[in-house]
Amino acid sequence: MTRLLVVGGSDAGISAALRARELDPSAEVTVVVADAYPNFSICGIPYYFTGEVQPWQSLAHRSAAELEASGMDLRLDTLATAIDVERRRLAVRDARGRSEELRYDELVVATGAMPADAGIAGAGAQGGGDEGLGPEDGLHVIHSMGDTFALERFLAERRPESAIIVGAGYVGLEMAEAFRARGLRVAQLQRGPEVLSTLDPELGALVHAELVAHGVEVVVNSTVTAIERTDGGLAVTAQGPGGISRRTAQLVLLVVGVRPSTALLRQAGAALGAGGAVAVDERMATGLPHVWAAGDGVVTHHRLLGTGYLPLGTTAHKQGRVAGENAVGGTARFAGSVGTQVVKVFDLVAARTGLRDAEARAAGFRPLTVASTADDHKRYYPGAQPIRFRLTAQLHDRRLLGAQLVGRRGSELAKRIDVFAAALHAGMSVAQLSELDLSYTPPLGSPWDAVQLAAQQWERAAADETSGAPD
């Protein structure tokens, strides 16, 4: 019988525990969770604040009772403090401060990531430091159920009328919608030249316009340097092209990315890799005997770029499944990510997968990126909406490298980006996209789907690009 310990109760940790129990029902699986909320959907938190998801308990993928019914033992409100690799012991401390050692045959560490503070003065506590402002001051992050409850209490008790969101990535954009749904005035500050920096600026501008249309004040090229308390709330100081600016609000939400949580494994002797994350191989092995790791705390194998750091929930689920299988004697390998992402911003949807032009060039490819527009379904059927595409592929062999899409909600962008993601995983050429047997009915698509029309537009542009080139 394998005695398996799992540290972490989110995507990767629970996936590892479930997979291990599925393959080896005799395995003794214990999951050590730092808080009281195992297997909650952090990605769903913005929709709790919009009011679309209620009550908060519905954010649980599975209840604690369901997890225990699967055969795992949950140790909630328990912090893992040290790993003794040689003795195969995990030191833990419970909520009352009592310490003990747990024995294991195999250990999976899935401690995830922590909110980053981007070096902003006054925000150190939110980034895991000892100093800085906190929720009681009006400065919030949104990375756990504890963060969720703190923000909900602040909204209920203080009834703020204004909010500043520092960062315009996926969560920042979703929370802009949530705050507007609750009647707050919202200003969104973005360090880069456009919101949603995972898209090219030409498409990010469409998201920008959607935010403005729904009453969000958007300020780009604005690097926040400090947050401080004032009589009326919080003041945010930023540096931009026009110099230093200062804005005040009753609530500030900091969403400037994450950093891998590596202390437990690092102190046990594990090596670090890209992005400061723990280095693992494709089996999710750390190099420490009988110790595996998965999720937002470890490096990611990217099918086009090799090893990097790309924390995503979908990736964490897959890595956790691999780690759990191998911990009970399996030979699974993580097949790799292509960075597929999608977000809804009010009535707009934006998605991407693979590489953008600049990323492809930096990686040594010779790409061509082509912009095009195609309707989401046949125009004669009412309600057709345009989808904006930016397709990137290698010029000499026509291999697909990436895709970006922006369109209206209801245009099935999530599934269309998945077509590109599957093509990237398979190493397909752009031409092969036109060969796919995709579904069609006039209310939902066209005989040539919008995906295929974008591919054909890329092929025409590539032919023009190479028509005068020497052999």
As to burial, measured by CB atoms within 10 angstroms (0-12 exposed, 13-18 middle, 19+ buried), residue 226 is middle
On the CB side of 434, CA atoms within 13 Å amount to 11
Distances (CA, A) of 150 to 14, 21, 56, 139: 25, 34, 13, 10
In this prediction, residue 471 carries a pLDDT of: 47
As to burial, measured by CB atoms within 10 angstroms (0-12 exposed, 13-18 middle, 19+ buried), residue 58 is exposed
CA–CA distance, 336 with 321 (Å, rounded to integer): 13
Residue type for 242, please? Answer: G
Residue type for 254, please? Answer: L
Distances (CA, A) of 39 to 66, 178, 219: 11, 23, 35
Same domain flag for 294 and 381: no
Same domain flag for 134 and 41: no
Task: Give exposure, 442-455, as e/b (b: 16+ Cβ within 10 Å).
Answer: eeebbeebbbbbbb
In this prediction, residue 85 carries a pLDDT of: 98
In this prediction, residue 110 carries a pLDDT of: 98
Same domain flag for 211 and 198: yes
Same domain flag for 306 and 377: no
Q: Count up the domains in the chain and report the number.
A: 3
Same domain flag for 361 and 457: yes
The CATH number of the domain holding residue 215 is 3.50.50.60
Distances (CA, A) of 160 to 53, 157, 346: 22, 9, 22
Same domain flag for 345 and 459: yes
- 333 part of a folded domain: no
CA–CA distance, 239 with 144 (Å, rounded to integer): 30
CA–CA distance, 218 with 202 (Å, rounded to integer): 16
Distances (CA, A) of 318 to 289, 301, 359: 22, 12, 24
Give the number of other Cβ atoms within 10 Å of residue 125's Cβ. 17
Is residue 49 within 8 Å of 182, Cβ to Cβ?
Answer: yes
- 471 part of a folded domain: no
Same domain flag for 353 and 435: yes
User: Which residue, chain included where needed, has tokens 């033992």?
Assistant: 73
CA–CA distance, 286 with 266 (Å, rounded to integer): 10
- 352 part of a folded domain: yes
What 3-state class would DSSP assign to 196?
coil
In this prediction, residue 467 carries a pLDDT of: 79
Same domain flag for 205 and 307: no
Token output for 440: 């069609």
Same domain flag for 222 and 131: yes
- The radius of gyration computed from the CA coordinates of the chain, to the nearest angstrom, equals 24
Q: Of 236, 387, 291, 326, nearest to 23 (Cα)?
A: 326
Cα dihedral 371, 375, 376, 382, rounded to 10, equals 160
- 405 part of a folded domain: yes
Phi, psi of 451 (to 5 degrees): -60, -45
Q: What is the pLDDT along the chain (471 residues), one digit of tens a residue?
A: 899 999 999 999 999 999 999 999 999 999 999 999 999 999 999 999 999 999 999 999 999 999 999 999 999 999 999 999 999 999 999 999 999 999 999 999 999 999 999 999 999 766 555 567 999 999 999 999 999 999 999 999 999 999 999 999 999 999 999 999 999 999 999 999 999 999 999 999 999 999 999 999 999 999 999 999 998 899 999 999 989 999 999 999 999 999 999 999 999 999 999 999 999 999 999 999 999 999 999 999 999 999 999 999 999 999 999 999 999 999 999 999 999 999 999 999 999 999 999 999 999 999 999 999 999 999 999 999 999 999 999 999 999 999 999 999 999 999 999 999 999 999 999 999 999 999 999 999 999 999 999 999 999 999 998 875 554
* 170: alpha, beta or left? (left if phi > 0; alpha if psi -120 to 50): alpha
CA–CA distance, 350 with 99 (Å, rounded to integer): 47
In this prediction, residue 469 carries a pLDDT of: 55
Same domain flag for 49 and 30: yes
Q: Of 346, 362, 413, nearest to 208 (Cα)?
A: 346
Tell me which of 214, 232, 256 is where a domain ends.
256
Alpha helices in 191-282 (DSSP H): 201-213, 263-268
Contacts of 441 (CB under 8 A, 6+ apart): none
- 336 part of a folded domain: no
- 366 part of a folded domain: yes
Integer distance in angstroms from the first to the last C-alpha of the chain? 64
Same domain flag for 218 and 293: no
- 332 part of a folded domain: no
pTM of the full structure: 0.93
- The strands making up 223-230's β-sheet, listed across from edge to edge, are 223-230, 233-240, 243-249
Same domain flag for 245 and 285: no
Alpha helices in 184-280 (DSSP H): 201-213, 263-268
In this prediction, residue 31 carries a pLDDT of: 98
**What is the extent of the structural domain holding 233?**
117-256
Q: Of 174, 116, 139, nearest to 346 (Cα)?
A: 174
Tell me which of 299, 327, 355 is where a domain ends.
327
- 334 part of a folded domain: no
